[in-house]
């Protein structure tokens, strides 16, 4: 068996993977349908395969505190909150106040209303006023500011904690010769390059969906 990317590129591979993954929670299926009906950008939803992945990661780590940057309609927040320790809390930030009304009923239906705190406003300013430490941070917001968010949250991540970053393959645009020609792609490319050169972390970029970078903060890194 060779280690190549050929298998990942075969048509239908993601559908096959999804069909061999634990079923979507009913509340998440309901939220997904509502997002596709009411949102102009439903592709921003984490979706079944990535959602179960986030849920698995959270269960493995059993975090006491999670920070999410980019709530959208709340799908990933519900997935990540599944693994919280008793008394644990997830803080999720979004700049769009309409998302609060959209997501709140689904947080309630999932039995997570007391575990998820939604914060509306500029992510940079909100992050600066959060104390931490966070065991997991999930970044899925405006791509041109990924590096800014990373640098803001890194001091607030617990030693040995994890940062998960979505869309780090950005529809394959990271491979294009003119990858720096638009702000979003340039933001992703610069972020990926920075993380790869940072001595205080261990990282892996997984080709799951649109790419998820998993970053572990080394315990000795301050």
Taking the C-alpha atoms of residue 97 and residue 194, their distance in angstroms, rounded to an integer, is 32
Give the mean pLDDT of 17-31: 96
For the chain, give every domain's residue range: 12-217
Residues in the chain: 222
Q: What is the pLDDT, as a whole number, of residue 209? A: 87
Please enumerate in sequence order all residues whose Cβ is within 8 A of that of 78, keeping only pairs 6 or more positions apart, or say none.
Answer: 25, 27, 28, 31, 106, 107, 110, 112, 116
Q: Distance between CA atoms of 133 and 144, rounded to whole angstroms? A: 25
Q: What would the pLDDT profile of 169-189 be if each residue is shown by its tens digit? A: 999 999 988 877 899 999 999
Q: Which residues contact 37 (CB under 8 A, 6 or more apart)?
A: none
Q: Give the percent of the chain with pLDDT over 70.
A: 95
pTM above 0.85, yes or no: yes
More confident site: 43 or 37: 37
Residues whose CB is less than 8 angstroms from the CB of residue 48 and which lie 6 or more positions away in sequence, other chains included: 18, 21, 24, 28, 32
d(CA 163, CA 150): 8
Please report which confidence band the pLDDT of residue 214 belongs to, taking 50, 70 and 90 as the band edges: very high
Residue pair 93/132 in contact (Cβ under 8 Å)? The answer is no
Choosing among 3.30.420.40, 3.40.50.300, 3.40.50.150, 3.40.50.720, the CATH entry for 12-217 is 3.40.50.150
pLDDT, tens digit (0-9, with 9 covering 90-100), for 44-53? 788 999 999 9
């Amino acid at each position: 068996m060779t280690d190549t990317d050929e298998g990942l590129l075969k048509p239908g591979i993601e559908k096959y993977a999804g069909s061999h993954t634990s079923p979507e929670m009913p509340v998440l299926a309901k939220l997904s349908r509502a997002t596709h009906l009411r949102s102009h950008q439903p592709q921003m939803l984490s979706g079944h395969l990535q959602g179960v992945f986030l849920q698995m990661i959270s269960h493995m780590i059993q975090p006491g505190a999670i920070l999410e940057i980019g709530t959208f309609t709340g799908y990933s927040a519900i997935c990540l909150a599944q693994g919280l320790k008793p008394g644990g809390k997830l803080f999720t930030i979004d700049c769009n106040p309409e998302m609060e009304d959209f997501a709140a009923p689904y947080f309630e239906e999932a039995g997570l209303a007391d575990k998820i705190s939604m914060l509306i406003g500029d992510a940079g300013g909100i992050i600066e006023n959060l104390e931490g430490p966070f065991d997991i941070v999930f970044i899925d917001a405006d791509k041109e500011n990924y590096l800014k968010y990373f640098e803001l949250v890194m001091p607030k991540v617990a030693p040995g904690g994890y940062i998960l970053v979505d869309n780090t393959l950005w529809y394959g645009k990271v491979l294009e010769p003119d990858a720096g020609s638009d702000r979003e792609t340039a933001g992703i490319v610069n972020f990926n390059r920075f993380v790869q050169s940072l001595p205080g972390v261990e990282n892996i970029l997984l080709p799951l969906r649109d790419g998820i970078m998993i970053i572990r903060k080394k315990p000795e890194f301050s």
